[in-house]
């Protein structure tokens, strides 16, 4: 059985990029019988979220969304990162092995600085904490987008260095990237991300979905002109939501005769239709807050057991 691990920061409302970039894979893997550890990365969120009330609300929103999307708590270990204190101890031990140059080369750190985030120590050492998340659970595979692949490679480097110095303790995790969803494009042509303000929230009101789809960046070609589907953002998103319909539209784009306005309208309709079953599940879970708390408690117990086993081996190896 393959052990899969993934986490997400509770720094805002989840969007279609989160769904197709990660959540859809979780559903697929849980139904295939893999062992999934999925966590809410609330420690990581402290690098940018400064309001306690907002953070707690975001954590609840993430868990609610995961359950609404179809994560089965009987098949998936779902937990809060901050409930597993052993991860912080492991993070410190790994930080004592992490070369400064390795962290300085992290693309995500440089990218976030370029987009105006504060250059705090937590943001700089983010990859070490992420490595502790992964290695504490002895994960085999870590599904990520292209932007996070380097972080998994850093975790591999740190695990390999630890094993070389102290003996074999850690599994060497593998990044897992689905080429067709490695990067979900946002409204402006960049990766769909809350940091860039270019997202379509999963549970946005239908009118808001229509409004956002109208904002999607396109070129100035007229409806009659042929278009390259690979360069048309609404088409790329439609291909994720309804591949069959996208295949039919592809020919129209190449031939000419389809305008961007009509394509954006079709995309909005398909996004709204796609989310309806999840919206119904969300309404059900919203009325069961005690059950959600129980799910997180059970998940934390299982995750803590794994982390404690790993940390016991680490402490023995390093001499603590």
Contact predicate 171/138, CB 8 Å: yes
Rg of the Cα trace of the chain? Answer: 21
Q: Which of 178, 175, 197 is nearest to 188 (CA)?
A: 197
Catalytic residue among 112, 227, 239, 264: 112
Contact predicate 161/169, CB 8 Å: no
Contact predicate 49/55, CB 8 Å: yes
The number of C-alpha atoms within 13 Å of 171 and in the hemisphere containing its C-beta is 18
Three-class DSSP category at 202: coil
Asked about 191 being catalytic, the answer comes back as yes
If one counts every other C-beta atom within 10 angstroms of the C-beta of residue 126, the result is 23
Catalytic residue among 85, 194, 214, 252: 194
Residue with tokens 């197709």: 20
User: Cα 47 to chain center, whole Å?
Assistant: 16
CA distance 45 to 208: 26
Strand pairing of 174-176 and 35-40?
unpaired
Q: Which of 31, 12, 8, 33 is nearest to 21 (CA)?
A: 8
Contact predicate 87/129, CB 8 Å: yes
CA distance 158 to 129: 11
Catalytic residue among 54, 85, 191, 221: 191
Asked about 110 being catalytic, the answer comes back as no
| Residues acting as catalytic residues | 112, 191, 194
């Amino acid at each position: 059985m393959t052990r899969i691990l993934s986490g997400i920061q509770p720094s805002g409302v989840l969007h279609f990029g989160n769904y197709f970039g990660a959540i859809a894979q979780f559903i697929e893997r849980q139904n295939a019988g893999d062992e999934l550890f999925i966590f809410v990365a609330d420690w990581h969120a402290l690098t940018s979220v400064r309001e306690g009330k907002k953070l707690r609300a975001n954590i609840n929103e993430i868990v609610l969304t995961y359950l609404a999307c179809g994560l089965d708590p009987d098949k998936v270990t779902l937990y809060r990162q901050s409930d597993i204190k052993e991860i912080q101890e492991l993070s410190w031990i790994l930080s004592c092995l992490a070369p400064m140059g390795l962290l300085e080369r992290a693309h995500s750190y440089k990218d976030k600085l370029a987009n105006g985030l504060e250059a705090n120590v937590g943001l700089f050492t983010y990859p070490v904490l992420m490595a502790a998340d992964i290695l504490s659970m002895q994960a085999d595979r870590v599904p990520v987008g292209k932007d996070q692949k380097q972080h998994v490679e850093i975790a591999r480097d740190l695990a390999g260095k630890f094993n070389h110095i102290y003996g074999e303790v850690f599994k060497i995790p593998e990044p897992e990237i689905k080429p067709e969803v490695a990067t979900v494009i946002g409204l402006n042509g960049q990766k769909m991300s809350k940091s860039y303000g270019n997202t379509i929230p999963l549970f946005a009101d239908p009118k808001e979905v229509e409004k956002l789809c109208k904002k999607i960046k396109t070129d100035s070609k007229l409806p009659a002109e042929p278009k390259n589907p690979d360069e048309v953002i609404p088409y790329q998103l439609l291909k994720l939501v309804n591949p069959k319909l996208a295949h039919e539209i592809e020919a129209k784009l190449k031939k000419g005769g389809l305008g961007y306005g009509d394509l954006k309208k079709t995309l909005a309709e398909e996004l709204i239709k796609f989310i309806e079953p999840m919206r119904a599940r969300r309404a059900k879970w919203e009325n069961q807050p005690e059950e959600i708390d129980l799910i997180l408690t059970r998940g934390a117990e299982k995750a803590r057991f794994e982390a404690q086993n790993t940390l016991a081996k680490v402490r023995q190896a390093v001499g603590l």
